[in-house]
Amino acid sequence: MPLRFAALIAHAAVALALACGLGPATAQPQPRAVPAESPASLLKLNLPDVVVTDHRGQTRRFASELLRDRPVLVNFIFTSCTTVCSPMTAILKSARERLAASGRGDLQLVSITVDPLADTPERLRSYASARGAAEGDWHFVTGSRASIDAILAAFGLPTGGRLDDHTPMVFVGQGQPQRWQRVYGLAGPSAIVAAVQGGGAALPQAARLTVTAPPAAETPAGTEAAALQGWQGLRDAAARQAEGAAPARLAGRDAASHFTNLPLLTHDRGPVRFYDDLIRGRVVLVHAFFASCKDVCSPVGANLARAQQALAAAPGIGPVQLLSISVDPVADTPELLDAYANRLGARAGWSFVTGKKENVDWVLHKLGLYVPDKTQHQAALWIGNDRTNTWLKLHALAPPEAIVAAVRRVL
């Protein structure tokens, strides 16, 4: 994991109001871009020319009329979606405006419902109008179940009305014959603009991104002491930063709405709602990791295990909930996370969190911890007191005594 340690230290005291968009102006997370695809890895899709209907009630042929010979963005939504669909529509709108301002006004957008039985042209028109996306060359498309399933299958997506399986993927099509790139939409407008302009924010066509191991001198050696020894310089810097970290009080916010109350899975408690079951009324430590990580996750886990012991022994603090949220929820099943927790010696009150990728991604996004490439996740630790709406941010390798002191500050 090529972590930029100096940048992480410098930014570790940024308030949650900025990282999560709780201030006067919403600040979107800016994940690092994934390297561009090479021309050889562009997708060649055999798209069906089925009949569809757009939000204006116009009947069109999908491949020959909607996807004509010019740049096109395609994504998938449904109007009753309560997670990523509205934010994705806003991201596409912003990308469209940026491209138009740069002289790329020839772009066409096509948003296809995965719920065609419920999403009539009228519902799609209402959805688009409410988001300022109903005008111009942007088509919100529905059709028969068979037609939509044929389109989904051509893009390699689940069919049969499986609403929960849709993802915030954007397909960028250009050229004749048209070739395609995939962009993870939550990476933001810049990633989409870069893909259209050839700047490279597209996801590789096949295979997972690999984890780059740290230099041998820094590789965790298996035991807690050895794992932490190679990171001593970083821990010292994190300790110095922790001494000056100032909490931010977030008054007057709807916490359940902001942090989301999406359904997730934990290794120890089974299905949960994120805010109600893991945040509400609690003092919490939150960070991101993934179980197959070969770099900073192991020493961070060992450090947090020591911090959990120190917090349990500290007088006047009370229960503290630790949350380790996987940035690789497809691979990190509850069973795998249970084994991971056992290896760390995690005690009661430390939940390892996974779930449907769409939900986990959105929770991470709201916490300012989302990245499109799991190997680029931050070694950041949020410390929060939901009872007082007070939060601060440390480096996750801050020494246990510094974490205990930070918890006292949010109390």
In this structure, is residue 202 part of a structural domain? Answer: no
My answer on whether 264 and 352 are in the same domain is yes
Domain span including residue 79: 39-196
Task: Identify the domain boundary among 149, 165, 196.
Answer: 196
Residue owning tokens 């299905």: 271
In this structure, is residue 206 part of a structural domain? Answer: no
Peptide bond into 177 cis (omega under 30): yes
pLDDT attached to residue 105: 78
My answer on whether 81 and 123 are in the same domain is yes
pLDDT attached to residue 127: 95
In this structure, is residue 49 part of a structural domain? Answer: yes
- CATH number for 294: 3.40.30.10
My answer on whether 131 and 76 are in the same domain is yes
**pLDDT per residue over 166-197, tens digit each?**
677 899 987 656 678 888 777 778 889 988 88
My answer on whether 57 and 189 are in the same domain is yes
**pLDDT per residue over 357-405, tens digit each?**
989 999 998 888 888 888 888 889 999 999 888 888 888 888 899 999 9
pLDDT attached to residue 376: 84
In this structure, is residue 359 part of a structural domain? Answer: yes
Q: What is the mean pLDDT of the chain?
A: 77
My answer on whether 150 and 249 are in the same domain is no
My answer on whether 188 and 268 are in the same domain is no
Residue 160: is its pLDDT beyond 50? yes
Tokens for 174, please give them: 């250009």
pLDDT attached to residue 294: 85
My answer on whether 188 and 248 are in the same domain is no
DSSP 79: T
**pLDDT per residue over 291-349, tens digit each?**
999 888 988 999 999 999 999 999 999 999 999 999 999 999 999 999 999 999 999 99
Res. 103 pLDDT band, cuts 50 70 90: confident
pLDDT attached to residue 397: 85
CB 172 within 8 A of CB 195: yes
Q: What is the rounded distance in angstroms from the CA atom of residue 234 to the CA atom of residue 213? A: 17
Give the 3-state secondary structure of residue 267.
coil
pLDDT attached to residue 195: 87
In this structure, is residue 208 part of a structural domain? Answer: no
**pLDDT per residue over 17-37, tens digit each?**
333 333 323 333 333 333 333
Q: List the beta strands (DSSP E) in 144-213.
A: 169-174, 179-184
My answer on whether 387 and 239 are in the same domain is yes
Task: Identify the domain boundary among 149, 164, 196.
Answer: 196
CB 217 within 8 A of CB 233: no
My answer on whether 242 and 186 are in the same domain is no
Q: What's the order of all strands across the beta sheet hosting 51-54?
A: 59-61, 51-54, 138-142, 108-113, 72-77, 169-174, 179-184
In this structure, is residue 88 part of a structural domain? Answer: yes
Residue owning tokens 């990476």: 187
My answer on whether 148 and 244 are in the same domain is no
Q: What is the rounded distance in angstroms from the CA atom of residue 5 to the CA atom of residue 19? A: 18
pLDDT attached to residue 253: 55
**pLDDT per residue over 192-246, tens digit each?**
998 888 744 333 332 222 222 222 222 223 333 333 333 344 445 455 555 555 5
My answer on whether 221 and 170 are in the same domain is no
Closest CA to 397 of 247, 229, 222, 210: 229
Structural domain total, the chain: 2
In this structure, is residue 317 part of a structural domain? Answer: yes
My answer on whether 17 and 104 are in the same domain is no
Tokens for 390, please give them: 């007070």
CB 255 within 8 A of CB 22: no
Res. 107 pLDDT band, cuts 50 70 90: confident
In this structure, is residue 207 part of a structural domain? Answer: no
Contact partners, residue 278, CB within 8 Å, separation at least 6: 264, 266, 272, 284, 321, 323, 351, 353
Contact partners, residue 214, CB within 8 Å, separation at least 6: 1, 230, 294, 295, 296
